[in-house]
């Protein structure tokens, strides 16, 4: 069936959008839509392609996230290993600034990485960042003053800011929306695994006979070398997008592109579009997400850096604190995989997030109600510890309201699309596939409906 210009305009998509569907990819001479197969790939082939991606990509992303969280946890770990006295920190405030400066670098890096992630080959950019932050982790060994640590921590935060947005983008490139949740949970759970390993590594240093270097220097050097080597591995192994990966033959590449076309999110376009920027800053959901995340970060603030010191404040020894800190990571791993399982059953994101926040609120209320003398009971909820328990409960409640408000907004937006585009029949499967792979926003896609 031949599709006319009228057919395209009927669903609110400009003719020029279809003509420009050979969007720039990481490899400029490859048009994404030219890879669409003229035949429909079998389910067996699609499953084979997805398994192939899982085998290669998921372990690499898990490794990067594990190392990223491990590097963040190192400052928390070395607080038990004589770090503060070795570099002559005068007070706790200086230790706090060594922690905080990391996030100043992270904040600055977030803006710059957003540009480079869009314009460079994603896998190569990730490998370069991982390699450089491995060098920075190892450089901690040579730091013997407060100022030197401030400088290294700032640049470390700058480098690590690239990982989470890169992996969110990479997951979206290779998997459908239904597949993304499970995969993102797999690599995100490595944050908890890293906390478990960090606790074990700290304990091993505490019972180990000191070498020519101090205990905290040993940890920084070991993690730095491992991170550097892993970055080199990523350069040669990590794929960037399904349309250019060398792991696929032509048939598999076509099947991979066909498979993710259902996302209606395209694959990659390096062109900056002011119309899309304008649409983003005028979208109220952007500010709801920002405020919701800010509330969660305030609640969880300090645990990454001060977790061991908090546990020690309950009168545990350094060795006991390092072992008990592993429970926080274990709880995170269990909760992440539980969330993935609940999503598999319910197919709802908002319900699961609100459930998780209710559990956190229960812990916060326990922090208020349990007396300070009951250290075991308070330890069970120390993963959400903050100075003001009442503030903690309030912030968690506000975050729940933000999540619920986004779901309500999505309901109204979907209803408006149903009213505006009552018929989603594009009349041509090939045209529909090309529109799915084009660089149109969610609002510009007549067939796109927002998830809850």
Other Cβ atoms within 10 Å of 143 Cβ, number:
18
Is residue 287 a contact partner of residue 203, using CB atoms and an 8 Å limit? no
Instruction: List, for the chain, all residue ranges whose pLDDT scores fall below the cut of 50.
Output: 1-33, 381-387, 426-429
- Name the residue among 71, 86, 69, 65 with its Cα closest to residue 219: 71
* Whole-number Cα distances in Å, 405 to 155, 285, 295, 451: 37, 9, 15, 13
> What tokens appear for 129 in the block?
């960042």
The pLDDT value recorded for residue 385 is 45
For residue 280, what are the contacts with CB-CB under 8 A and spacing of at least 6? 286
- Name the residue among 281, 241, 279 with its Cα closest to residue 263: 241
List every span in the chain annotated with CATH 1.20.1250.20: 40-270
E strands within 371-428?
none
The pLDDT value recorded for residue 4 is 40
For residue 253, what are the contacts with CB-CB under 8 A and spacing of at least 6? 35, 242, 243, 245
Cα–Cα dist 282/149, whole Å: 40
Cα–Cα dist 404/286, whole Å: 14
The pLDDT value recorded for residue 262 is 67
Cα–Cα dist 347/353, whole Å: 12
CB-based burial of residue 71 (10 Å sphere; 0-12 exposed, 13-18 middle, 19+ buried)? buried
The CA radius of gyration of the chain, in Å to the nearest whole number, is 24
* Whole-number Cα distances in Å, 31 to 47, 422, 449: 24, 31, 26
Own/partner contacts of 86-94, CB < 8 Å, gap of 24 or more, are: 86/144, 86/214, 86/216, 87/143, 87/144, 87/145, 87/146, 87/149, 88/145, 88/146, 89/146, 90/146, 94/146
- For domain 40-270, give the CATH number: 1.20.1250.20
The pLDDT value recorded for residue 53 is 93
Q: pTM here?
A: 0.76
E strand or H helix that includes residue 78: helix 43-78
């Amino acid at each position: 069936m031949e599709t006319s210009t009228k057919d395209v305009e009927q669903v609110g998509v400009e003719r020029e959008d279809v003509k420009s569907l050979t969007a720039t990819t990481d490899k400029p001479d490859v048009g994404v839509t030219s890879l669409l197969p003229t035949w429909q790939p079998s389910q067996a082939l699609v499953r084979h392609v997805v398994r192939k991606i899982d085998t290669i990509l998921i372990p690499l992303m898990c490794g990067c996230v594990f190392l990223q969280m491990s590097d963040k946890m190192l400052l928390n770990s070395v607080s038990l290993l004589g770090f503060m006295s070795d570099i002559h920190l005068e007070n706790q405030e200086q230790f706090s600034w060594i922690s905080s400066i990391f996030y100043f670098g992270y904040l600055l890096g977030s803006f710059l990485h957003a540009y480079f992630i869009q314009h460079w080959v994603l896998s190569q950019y990730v490998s370069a960042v991982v390699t450089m932050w491995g060098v920075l982790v190892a450089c901690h060994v040579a730091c013997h003053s407060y100022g030197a640590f401030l400088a290294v921590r700032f640049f470390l935060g700058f480098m690590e800011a690239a990982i989470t947005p890169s992996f969110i983008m990479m997951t979206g490139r290779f998997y459908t929306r239904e597949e993304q949740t499970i995969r993102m949970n797999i690599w995100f759970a490595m944050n908890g695994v890293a906390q478990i390993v960090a606790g074990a590594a700290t304990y091993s240093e505490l019972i180990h006979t000191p070498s020519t270097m101090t205990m905290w220097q040993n940890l920084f050097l070991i993690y730095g070398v491992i991170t550097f080597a892993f970055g080199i591995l990523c350069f040669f192994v990590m794929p960037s997008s399904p349309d250019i990966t060398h792991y696929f033959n032509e048939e598999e590449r076509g099947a991979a592109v066909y498979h993710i076309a259902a996302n209606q999110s395209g694959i990659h376009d390096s062109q900056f579009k002011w119309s899309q920027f304008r649409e983003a800053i005028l979208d109220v959901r952007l500010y709801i997400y920002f405020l919701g995340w800010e509330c969660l970060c305030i609640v969880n603030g300090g645990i990454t850096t001060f977790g061991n010191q908090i546990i020690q404040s309950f009168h545990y020894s350094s060795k006991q604190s390092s072992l008990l800190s592993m429970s926080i990571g274990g709880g995170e791993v269990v909760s992440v995989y539980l969330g993935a399982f609940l999503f598999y059953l319910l197919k709802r994101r908002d319900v699961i997030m609100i459930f998780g926040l209710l559990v956190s609120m229960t812990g916060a209320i326990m922090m208020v109600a349990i007396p300070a003398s009951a250290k075991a009971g308070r330890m069970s909820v120390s993963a959400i510890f903050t100075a003001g328990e009442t503030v903690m409960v309030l912030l968690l409640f506000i975050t729940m309201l933000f999540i619920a408000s986004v779901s309500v907004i999505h309901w109204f937006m979907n209803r408006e699309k149903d009213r505006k585009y009552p018929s989603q029949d594009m009349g041509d499967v090939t045209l529909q596939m090309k529109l799915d792979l084009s660089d149109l926003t969610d609002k510009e896609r007549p067939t796109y409906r927002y998830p809850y």
